[in-house]
């Protein structure tokens, strides 16, 4: 037998090779479209039903409560020339920084940025007043700076960068130059020694005066001296001196016409 190759059916009983593929594609496309439409309808219904619940769960941002952050910096002391331009004063300052608009994580960066400006501002103020003060009078410079920070350039100092605002309050102290301290040390040692001797002499004089007063009280004659040598009026036990001796009680008188008992004294005649 000879195999005869199969050919297309002229009667149309067997479809062409491309015809079944197109039919299945159209059928799957129609089914996918129907499923997609049904999914969209279900999604829309679910979304419409979930809207009231989602509105209740929506997060609304409340206005943030301002928090004030405070930091203190103690940089190196400032050296300002004193009167005569030979010696200097050492101005130590403590800067208190505060802000209620800066973020906590950026607070230190802003303080470092403004610290140099505050130090230069204080240095100009100290130089202006230090040139008129002798190098051994740091108290006068401290008083002048305190008055200037209260009147001429009052604190707190304000610094701003963008929307961030900082306030700075400096607290200053003034110290001697080390060279001036060495020059003044013998003077203060002598002064302290003289004050100690004066205090000792004063205490000795007070003690001698108190001893003389006590001796004079003890040497006073008569009853006054004995009374003074006795206990003090404000002491716990006072001395008691009777004004007159105590008399025995009077004897009872017998009735008229009755003789007294033997051993009893006779009543005086009436």
Q: What is the pLDDT of residues 58-76, one digit of tens each?
A: 665 555 666 678 888 888 9
| CATH number for the domain that contains residue 155 | 3.30.479
> Which domain does 187 fall in, by range?
178-221
Query: In whole numbers, what is the pLDDT of the chain averaged over residues?
Result: 77
More confident residue, 227 or 195: 195
152 & 203 share domain: no
Q: Which two tokens stand for residue 262?
A: 């033997």
Predicted local distance difference test score (pLDDT) of residue 89 = 93
User: Helix H segments across 131-236?
Assistant: 138-150, 178-218, 222-229
Please choose, from the candidates 97, 94, 93, the residue with its C-alpha nearest in 3D space to the C-alpha of residue 69.
97
Is position 192 within any domain?
yes
Q: What is the pLDDT of residues 145-193, one digit of tens each?
A: 999 988 888 888 999 888 889 999 999 999 999 999 898 888 888 888 9
Same domain, 97 and 144: yes
Identify whether residues 80 and 159 lie together within a single domain.
yes
pLDDT at 1: 44
User: What is the mean pLDDT of the segment spanning 252-264?
Assistant: 58
What is the structure's pLDDT at 8?
A: 47
> What's the structural domain count of the chain?
2
Q: By the 8 A CB rule, do 206 and 196 touch?
A: no
| pLDDT of 248 | 59
**75 closest CA partner among 54, 87, 90, 61:** 90
What share of the chain has pLDDT > 70, as a percent?
70
Residues 73 and 171 in one domain: yes
DSSP E strand boundaries for the chain: 69-73, 78-81, 88-99, 157-161, 164-175
pLDDT at 95: 93
pLDDT for the residue numbered 263:
54
Domain for residue 38, yes or no? no
Residue 114 shares a structural domain with residue 157: yes
Asked if residue 114 and residue 184 are part of one domain, the reply reads no
* CB of 70 closer than 8 Å to CB of 84: no
Are 115 and 183 members of one domain? Answer: no
- The pLDDT-based confidence of 10 (bands split at 50, 70, 90) is very low
pLDDT at 91 over 60: yes
Q: How many CB atoms lie under 10 A from the CB of residue 90? A: 16
pLDDT-based confidence at residue 130 (cuts at 50, 70, 90): very high
Do 84 and 164 have their domain in common?
yes
Q: What is the pLDDT of residue 239?
A: 46
Task: Evaluate whether residue 136 is within a structural domain.
Answer: yes
pLDDT in tens, 94-125: 999 998 888 888 888 989 999 999 999 999 99
Comparison of pLDDT for 192 and 19, the residue scoring more:
192
The pLDDT value given to residue 270:
46
């Amino acid at each position: 037998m000879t195999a005869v190759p199969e050919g297309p059916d002229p009667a149309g009983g067997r479809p062409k090779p491309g015809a079944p593929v197109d039919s299945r594609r159209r059928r799957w496309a129609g089914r996918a479209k129907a499923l997609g439409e049904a999914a969209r309808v279900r999604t829309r219904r679910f979304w419409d039903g979930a809207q009231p619940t989602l509105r209740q769960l929506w997060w609304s941002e409340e206005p943030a409560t301002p928090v004030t952050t405070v930091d203190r910096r103690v940089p190196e002391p400032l050296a300002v020339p004193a009167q005569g331009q030979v010696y200097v004063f050492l101005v130590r300052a403590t800067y208190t920084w505060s802000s209620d608009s800066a973020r906590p994580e950026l607070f230190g960066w802003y303080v470092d940025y403004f610290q140099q400006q505050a130090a230069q501002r204080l240095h100009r103020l100290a130089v202006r007043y230090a040139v008129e003060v002798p190098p051994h009078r740091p108290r006068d410079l401290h008083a002048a700076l305190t008055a200037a920070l209260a009147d001429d350039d009052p604190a707190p100092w304000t610094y701003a960068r963008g929307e961030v605002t900082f306030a700075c309050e400096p607290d200053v102290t003034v110290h001697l130059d080390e060279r001036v301290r060495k020059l003044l040390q013998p003077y203060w040692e002598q002064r302290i020694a003289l004050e100690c001797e004066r205090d000792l002499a004063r205490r000795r004089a007070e003690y001698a005066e108190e001893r003389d007063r006590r001796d004079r009280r003890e040497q006073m004659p008569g009853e006054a001296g004995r009374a003074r040598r006795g206990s003090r009026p404000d002491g716990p036990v006072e001395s008691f001196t009777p004004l007159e001796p105590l008399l025995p009680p009077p004897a009872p008188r017998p009735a008229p016409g009755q003789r007294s008992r033997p051993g009893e004294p006779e009543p005086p005649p009436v």
